[in-house]
């Protein structure tokens, strides 16, 4: 009888060890894969959104591409934060696939569908700040 209790008790550390390993692997994947991919996708969506606003205003596409790059880090962060606040795992997956496929109009449409009118206006205001320079 005591042998059975000892065997059941010895499985608990193994189970806990396996659970701990899953947690460590999950944390590594989250910090090493998901977050960097999400940051890159958010940056690309932000860039394409600003570029799209510029093109809709009649700015040449080569100039429109330079607008996001000429923005201050603070303003780029504002644009990224607006995009990221709407970026759940499903949206990131869609945006990543669009980015991989080179579907820039899809990225633009995705950003526009996710942002409120006020957020879109904030992006337009940021765009106008840099066009006026």
Tens of pLDDT along 17-67?
888 888 888 888 788 877 888 888 888 878 877 777 777 777 777 777 788
Q: Name the domain count of the chain.
A: 1
How far apart are alpha carbons 123 and 105 in whole angstroms? 17
pLDDT: is 8 or 22 the higher one?
22
Domain assignment present for residue 19? The answer is: no
Inside any domain, residue 18:
no
Residue 25, domain member (yes or no): no
Distance CA 128, CA 133 (A): 9
Whether 11 maps to a domain, the answer reads no
Rounded to a whole number of angstroms, the distance between the first and last alpha carbons of the chain is: 84
Report yes or no on 96 lying in a domain. Answer: yes
Whether the predicted pLDDT of 4 surpasses 60? no
Residue 16 lies in a domain: no
Does residue 10 lie in a domain region?
no
Q: What is the pLDDT of residues 110-122, one digit of tens each?
A: 777 878 888 888 8
Domain that holds residue 73: 36-131
Q: What is this structure's pTM?
A: 0.60
pLDDT for res 74: 93
CB atoms within 10 A of CB 38: 18
The answer to whether residue 133 scores a pLDDT higher than 70 is: no
Q: Per the domain annotation, does 97 fall within a domain?
A: yes
């Amino acid at each position: 009888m005591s042998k059975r209790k000892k065997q059941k008790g010895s499985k608990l550390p193994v189970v806990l060890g396996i659970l701990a390993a899953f947690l460590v692997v999950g944390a590594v994947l989250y910090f090493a894969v998901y977050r960097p991919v999400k940051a890159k996708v958010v940056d690309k969506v932000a860039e394409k959104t600003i570029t799209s606003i510029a093109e809709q205003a009649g700015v040449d596409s080569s100039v429109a591409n330079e607008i996001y790059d000429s923005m201050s880090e603070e303003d780029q962060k504002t644009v990224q934060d607006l995009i990221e606040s709407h970026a759940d795992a499903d949206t990131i997956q869609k945006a990543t696939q669009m980015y991989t496929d080179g579907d820039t109009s899809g990225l633009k449409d995705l950003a526009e569908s996710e942002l409120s009118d006020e957020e879109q206006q904030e992006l337009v205001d940021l765009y106008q700040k840099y066009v006026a320079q």
